[in-house]
Structure 1
Amino acid sequence: MTEFVLVAGAWLGSSAWDEVVPELRAAGHGAHPLTLSGLAERQAEPAGQRTHVRDIVAEVERLDLREVVLVGHSYSGIPVGQAAGLIGERLRHLVFVDSNIPVDGESFVAQWPEGRPMVEAALAANDGGWPPVAEAYAGQELDEARVARILADSTPHPGRTLTEPAELARPLGELPATYVKCLLAGEELDSRVTKLVADGRCRVVRMDTGHWPMFSRPRELARVLLEAAGTTHR
C-alpha cells in the first residue's frame, strides 16, 4: 500500500485536500493531509523553513509510513523536496504539484524576483505574515463561491518560511519524481524544473486547469498522483 503525504501551498492547511483524499483511499492507499506549523489550526505555532521540513519528516516517522509518496503543492514543494532527501528508503516517489522546486541556498522569495518586493512589503505590514491574496485565484478555473470558501479557510503564511533558504540533504536529481504542470497558471516550465527533468529521474504531467487542482479538478489530480506513484485503482 502506498502512503500519500499531502502538503498544500501558502495560506492553506490539510483541508485543502478534502476532495482528493477519498479518491486515494478508495483506490486502497493511505492518504495523510498535513497542516504545516503556522497555518490553519496550527496558526499560533512559530515556523521557519526548517520547521516545515521537520513537520513533514516528523509526520512520516510518527505514523511509521513506508512506500511514501510526498506531494508538495506550490510553496510546499520547497519543504517537501527537502524532506524527501531525509526520509531515506521510506520514499517511493516525490510529486511537485505546480510547485516551487527547492534549490540549495535559495528561498521562496529568491525564486520569485518580480514578486519579492510585494511579499516583503506584505510581511512588513502584517507582523511577519503573508496574507492570502484573493486576486491569485482569478482565472484558475474556480468560481466565486469556491474562492470564497478557500479564502475563508486560509490564514496568513509565516514569513520566515518564505525568506529562509532551502538546505538539501540529497540532490533532487537522485530521487524519482513527477512534476505536475497546471497550464492555466502558465504553460512554460521553470528553469529549475527543466533541469530536474534533464537530470533524468523526473517526468512532467500537464493538467489543463489552474494552480489549485485539488479544488478545480480533485478527481483528475488523484488519478495523476496514483499514476505518478505507479499505482492503479483496485
Structure 2
Amino acid sequence: MTTASSRPIVLIAGHWLGAWAWDEVLEHMATDHSRAVAMTLPGLDADDPGRAAKTLDDQAAAVLDVIGQLGASAHQPAILVAHSGANAPVSLVLDRHPELVHRVVWVDSGPVAPGSAFGAGIPGELAELPLPPFDVLGQQASLEGLSPDVLERFRAKAVPEPGPVLRQPVELSNEDRHKVRTTLVCCSIPSAQVLELAHAGHAMFAEVAHIEHLDVIDLPTGHWPMWSRPRDLAKVIQSAASRTN
C-alpha cells in the first residue's frame, strides 16, 4: 500500500536556478520521513558545455527520468513541487504522464496555457538570458524578504536561462492534466487575486480555472519563498504531500 510518506517529492526551481536553491527547504524537511530531492533542469547546470541548446522537451524528459529513478509509477505517483519558470516543463510532464503525478505544488507559479511561451518575443539569435540586474528583476517579481547576502548568493550561483527554453511554446492536449491534484502556494500575489484573475480568463492564470482538485495556500512573501520563508515553505510542502485526496 502506498502511503503519503513513501511518495517521492521532486523540487524544481525556476529560471536561473538549480537544485541548490532548495537547500534550506530540504534542511527543514529532513526531520520528516518524506523522500524529497531537488533537481537541476537541463540547461541550468553551469558545468554543461551544451546547456544553452537545451529545450523544454529536454527538461520535461529530465523530470520524468528523476521521478522514474525514485520509483514513481502509476501505482506510486510522485509529488512535483514547481517554482516560477519550472511551470513550463512541469506542465508538459502533467500533459504527457498525468498518471505519474499524485499532486503538483506550484510555488508562486501555476500551470501554463496551451501554446504559450515565456519569451515568445525573444530574438532567435539570443542564445541565453542572464539574470537581470536586481533593480530590473524587482520590477518583474517581488524580492521581498531577500537579504543582501541572499541576493549576493543568487547572483553568484545563477546560470543564464537557455534561449530555446524561453522561446518554445508549451504544446498541451491531454485534458487529464486538469485532474491531477493541485496545491497553489501564493506568495507575491494573494490567492484571492489569483483566483479572481483565473476566473476572469487572464492568460497567466486561465489554466487554474480548469483544475478539478485545487487547494490554495497563502504564504505572503516575495517570489523566492525558499529563501525568504524556507521553514514555512517546507511545512506547506510536507502538508500538501501528506494529503491523500
Length-normalised TM-score, structure 1 = 0.84
What amino acid does structure 2 have at the position aligned with 1:38?
G
Mapped contact 1:209–1:216 kept (Cα < 8 A): yes
Report deviation, 1:215. Answer: 0.8
**Which residue number in structure 1 is paired with residue 3 of structure 2?**
none
**Which residue number in structure 2 is paired with residue 22 of structure 1?**
27
Report deviation, 1:194. Answer: 5.6
Helix, strand or coil for the counterpart of 1:40? coil
Report deviation, 1:77. Answer: 1.1
Q: Quote the RMSD (CA, aligned, Å).
A: 2.5
Unmatched runs of 5 consecutive residues or more in structure 1 = 111-115
Q: Does 2:62 match 1:50?
A: no
| Deviations 1:19-61 (CA, angstroms, capped at 9, x unpaired) | 1112223210011111011113454233111111111011111
Q: How many residues align?
A: 221
Helix, strand or coil for the counterpart of 1:107? coil
| Deviations 1:156-185 (CA, angstroms, capped at 9, x unpaired) | 000111110112253332111011111369
**Which residue number in structure 2 is paired with residue 63 of structure 1?**
70
Report deviation, 1:62. Answer: 2.5
Unmatched runs of 5 consecutive residues or more in structure 2 = 1-5
146-155 or 165-174, larger mean C-alpha shift: 165-174
Aligned identity (percent) is 29
Length-normalised TM-score, structure 2 = 0.80
- Find the partner of 1:12 among 9, 12, 17: 17
Report deviation, 1:217. Answer: 0.6
Q: After superposition, where does 1:111-190 map in structure 2 within 5 Å?
A: 116=121, 120=122, 124=125, 127-135=126-134, 136-137=137-138, 139-168=143-172, 170-171=174-175, 172-183=177-188, 188-189=193-194, 190=197
- How many angstroms apart in 1 are the aligned matches of 2:132 and 2:173? 32
**Which residue number in structure 2 is paired with residue 218 of structure 1?**
230
144-153 or 33-42, larger mean C-alpha shift: 33-42
139-148 or 7-16, larger mean C-alpha shift: 139-148
* CA 1:87–1:21: 2 relative to 1, 3 Å: farther
* CA 1:71–1:174: 2 relative to 1, 3 Å: same
**Which residue number in structure 2 is paired with residue 113 of structure 1?**
none
